[in-house]
Amino acid sequence: MTNIKKVVIKAPSQQEHLNPAAMLDPGDLTEWLGSLPLLKPIPTVQQIIEIVTTLNAQQISVKKRQQLLDAICETALKIYPSLNPETLARLSIKETARNQVHIQTTQLCTSTADGYKIIIRDAINNDAKDLEDVIFLPLYHAIELLSLALLSSYRNYKATPVSLYHDIHQLYLLAEMTGLLDLEIERGSYTLSADTIGQMYRQIMILAFLDPFHMPPGMVEKLYERLAQMSQYCTILSRVPDPDAAEIFIVDLYTDEAPRAIYKVSEQADLKMPRVFDTKPLLNKIRADITLLQSEDESPAIKNEMGLLQRLIPPDKEQVTRKSERMETSRVCRVTFGIDAVYHFLNLEKKELVQVLQSDADNFGNHALESWTIINESTEGYSLCNQATTRHDVRVGDIVGLLTEEAGVGRNHGKIAVIRWMQHSQNDVINMGLEIIAGNILPAMCRLLDAAGSKDTCAGIFISSNSATGMPATLITPKMIYRRGRIMEVTIGEQPMKIEAGYLRDDTFTYDLFDFISLDS
């Protein structure tokens, strides 16, 4: 363990004076936590965050700190499942409040993990006797809580917090150095996490590798729970067995990055502390389970189980390989978010587009407009960054309108895209990956004609057919509008058209993209 002090453990500093508001008696804290109304998540979580933040600033003994943190951690694990978007959707709270719950969930997990990291940091710095015994439980719980914070970002389609991957990587590295990876924890309560640090690290890294932001609502938590039992089949190697294998991914323990497929990593990449994950044994296990299920009756439960297992199989290399080269750049663009804003954006005249691009205004009409920097681009998409944004309502899966300096030139009317990933980085910078929606894009006003629609209208986006790809004309509408067979009137320009909704082609938590049949003679 000669290199153990090279592990980077970031933890809050402690103040010299005692805060009288700090709850430092384990019995009193346990009683207080037990009295909290767990069915009222917003005020409850905020109160716990205030308690743990105050605790983290106090200079107290290791034993007492761990007793207090364990009580808080147990409560956090109990309340965590009730903070998922599907549960919150059943409560009569506004969208802004739901967004706030995600922020609070992340703070609850990371601040409690910070408390455990204080124990770990001090034990290393003070050359604690029986170091492994002192840090094992704090290590396990810190990784567990940070993994749940990452899971919260995935299930809410929100940008991952800064340093979250880095902190998980470093804590894993410490467990590896101290021989604590395979030591099982005795759990007295229900948890989503695996029983060892090594399996739990595989569990969250496999989920990250599976591109969780592309999963349908409610899926990532089910996959995470399933991976708690299956991550043991993934092996970590010291060398790369096949640089072209789709089932091999790699992480660098000194970066703040998600795992990447091995074939996407350049041979010239400067990897300080790589770890190679071979999921082939896991995939063999999954495929064997699917084959076994196929021999049983096709009940709804069996179909759901097979669908869940299929989600654990990464896409083929051909499906995810870029079709065009990505080029680094640095230029400013203007971005607006949401279908309604994009609809109005597409209705702008070319002259107005240029004015919007060249102005410093933070809105057009009633819609927000932000300046972002394009840092790399290809014919398929862009990677953007922004240091000034304070928006908390933007999520992966949102439709965006994009104006670059080419807007208004020739037939270029700007672009629309969908957010595929988001991540916070240092200095309050947020990074965002966009996938361009190709085709001839036009604004479309949609009017529902069936009885259920009550002739309501909504903004939509029309995409013309593409003979090269064989994709028919499609329509993008906000969530809850699409239903196969639904009748609606779509107005593009001044020409209304009666249609019947066809097959769903793509969807995220905010929109549905579907083909349709024209009912006009």
pLDDT tens for the chain, 521 residues long, are 558 888 999 999 998 888 888 899 999 999 999 998 877 777 889 999 999 999 999 999 999 999 999 999 999 998 998 888 888 777 777 777 777 888 899 999 999 999 999 999 999 999 888 999 999 999 999 999 999 999 999 998 888 988 999 999 999 999 999 999 999 988 766 678 889 999 999 999 999 999 898 888 889 999 999 999 999 999 988 777 766 677 789 999 999 999 988 888 876 577 888 899 999 899 999 999 999 888 877 788 888 889 899 999 887 665 555 556 778 888 888 888 999 989 988 887 766 766 766 666 677 667 878 889 999 998 889 999 987 555 557 889 999 998 876 644 444 457 899 999 998 887 778 899 999 988 889 999 999 887 655 567 899 999 998 877 788 999 999 988 999 999 999 999 888 899 999 999 888 888 999 999 998 86
Residue spans per domain, the chain: 4-204, 236-320, 327-436, 441-518
Q: Under a CB-based contact definition with an 8 Å cutoff, are residues 337 and 511 in contact?
A: no
- Give the closest residue to 219 by CA, choosing from 84, 91, 127: 84
Q: Under a CB-based contact definition with an 8 Å cutoff, are residues 174 and 120 in contact?
A: yes
In this predicted structure, what is the pLDDT of residue 331?
A: 87
Same fold across 327-436 and 441-518: yes
Q: What is the CATH architecture assignment of 441-518?
A: Beta Barrel (2.40)
CA atoms within 13 A on the CB side of 275: 23
Whole-angstrom Cα distance, residue 472 to residue 166? Answer: 44
In this predicted structure, what is the pLDDT of residue 446?
A: 93
Q: Under a CB-based contact definition with an 8 Å cutoff, are residues 344 and 356 in contact?
A: no
In this predicted structure, what is the pLDDT of residue 82?
A: 85
Whole-structure pTM value: 0.85
In this predicted structure, what is the pLDDT of residue 171?
A: 97
- Element housing 519 (H / E): none
In this predicted structure, what is the pLDDT of residue 455?
A: 61
DSSP 267-330: TT---SSEEEEE-HHHHHHHHHHHHHHHTS---HHHHHHHHHHHHTSPPPHHHHS-SS--EEEE
List phi, psi (to 5°) of 500.
-120, 125
Whole-angstrom Cα distance, residue 483 to residue 490? Answer: 15
In this predicted structure, what is the pLDDT of residue 232?
A: 92
Q: Under a CB-based contact definition with an 8 Å cutoff, are residues 449 and 487 in contact?
A: yes
- Give the closest residue to 43 by CA, choosing from 81, 5, 100: 100
Locate the DSSP E strands across 439-507.
Answer: 441-448, 457-463, 474-478, 487-492, 495-507
- What CATH superfamily classification does 327-436 receive? predicted glycosyltransferase like domains (2.40.10.220)
Residue with tokens 């965590």: 80
In this predicted structure, what is the pLDDT of residue 72?
A: 95
CA distances from 325 to 244, 321, 355, 382, 437 (A): 18, 10, 31, 12, 18
Kindly report the length of the chain. Answer: 521
- Report residue 50 CA to chain centroid gap: 25
In this predicted structure, what is the pLDDT of residue 300?
A: 85
In this predicted structure, what is the pLDDT of residue 409?
A: 45
Whole-angstrom Cα distance, residue 247 to residue 245? Answer: 5
